[in-house]
A = this chain, B = another copy of it.
Amino acid sequence: MTTIVQKFGGTSVGDVTKIKNVARRIKRDMDAGKKVVTVVSAMGKSTDSLVNLAKDITDSPDPREMDMLLTTGEQVTISLVVMALKELGVDAVSMTGWQAGIKTEAVHQDARITEIDAEKVQKHLNKNRAVLVAGFQGVGPSGEITTLGRGGSDTSAVALAAALGAETCSIYTDVTGVFTADPRYVTKARQLDSVSYDEMLELANLGAGVLHPRAVEFAKNYHVPLIVRSSTEDVEGTMVEEEATVEQNLIVRGLAFESEITKITIERLPNQFETMPTLFSMLAEAGISVDIIIQQMTSDNGINVSFTLDTQDLGKALDLLHNKKAELCYSSINHESTLAKVSIVGSGMVSNPGVASDMFKVLAEHEVAIKMVTTSEIKVSVVVPEVDMITAVEGLHAHFGLDAKEKAKIEAIKA
């Protein structure tokens, strides 16, 4: 008998009706002869309510106590799903993170899983019980309750699947799968049958951010086949696995894009070994995430550095850089906001060196100015004016053969 692991997020267990639906789905898989382990998140907005309680008490809640507080949310869900299963006549048992043997580092709010004692869950599976595991949580070396940080429940599910040698790990979510581009913006986006781990990592922003990169990395490292599928519609999802099936010889598998990007350029920094580490550790310590970085020499042996960041961090970054002008010894700063980043992603690029130039040609045809470029083995990203983002995406989506062939096909997938 094969074991499957599945995960339902907060919206999929948001009320009693949805919890009963999850129970029915588990029963169906068990009736089909599977051993089923289900990881669930806290119900809908319940985590927000708990966070607000903490905020009413203090502006800087203790991380250990936040873990103690927030882990109650998943504990509520697991007990309710088991009650619903028992109501359907299915033997089932709920387990908190520590009961399920999910061991983590001694870190609060963003711990990594170090080990899973699979026997704790396995002994219930051996008795033909459905096992419900509280997602997002674990136990530290000294018995402290810890949480896994963002994407935590996905990671719980993938880690359990790896530890139990599960056939697949299904992530149930509010989209039907992974798309060639975010279908909220790109009308011709279509769902992929399969995608590789590496492509999925690069496409993390696609399809409404369905999978957290940490969970994908975990799945890749432990060779766990992931399935992204809908919790409401009963349709095939997208398989995330080692080598994605080659669909129609696609070189580019998908497009990612994000707006509200700002580019900052710092001119005439001293050409010294310490310049770059000093600058970027300063920004990191201030909690400012930097994405694309470009460094150029100036004619008089100084260096110019450009980098992109979320526009919402601009003020903080400018304040910091102005305050540190003496330390950094630059001559001037300028910035350009209302930019966007557009990326093409696909494992097939590695053996197709012409992809980047193809991309630039398409952008030129659509009169989209390129502000910055960065490339990796399976991705090319360009920074363009925000106003041209959708034009660029639609042009690239069509050029690389990603457009849905006919309207009817998408309807068939969704039906």
Contact = CB atoms under 8 A, between A and B. Distances in A.
A249 interface: no
Nearest to A73: B72
Interface string A82-104: 11101100000110101100000
A53 B69 contact: no
A57 B145 contact: no
A298 to B, nearest CB: 50
Interface string A58-84: 100110111011011101101110111
Interface in A34-66: 50, 53-54, 56-58, 61-62, 64-66
A66 B56 CA distance: 29
Q: Decide if the interface of chain A is mainly helix, strand, loop or mixed.
A: helix
Contact of A80 (B19, B54, B80, B83): B54
Given A99-B143, A143-B99, A57 B83 contact: yes
Interface in A1-49: 16, 19-20
Contact of A66 (B62, B65, B79): B79
Contact of A56 (B16, B75, B76): B16
Contacts of A79: 54, 65-66, 68-69
Contacts of A78: 68
B64 A84 contact: no
A69 B58 contact: no
Contacts of A76: 50, 53, 69, 72
Given A58-B83, A58-B84, A68 B64 contact: no
A68 B76 CA distance: 7
Contacts of A99: 143, 145
A96 to B, nearest CB: 7
A80 B94 contact: no
Most-contacted residue by chain B among A79, A86, A98 (CB, 10 A):
A79
21 contacts: A16-B56, A16-B57, A20-B57, A50-B76, A54-B79, A54-B80, A57-B80, A57-B83, A57-B84, A57-B87, A58-B84, A64-B94, A65-B80, A65-B94, A68-B75, A68-B82, A68-B94, A69-B75, A69-B76, A69-B79, A72-B75
Interface of A: 16, 19-20, 50, 53-54, 56-58, 61-62, 64-66, 68-69, 71-73, 75-76, 78-80, 82-84, 86-87, 93-94, 96, 98-99, 143, 145
Given A16-B53, A69-B75, 14 more contacts: A16-B56, A16-B57, A20-B57, A50-B76, A54-B83, A58-B87, A62-B86, A65-B82, A68-B78, A68-B79, A69-B80, A71-B75, A72-B75, A99-B145
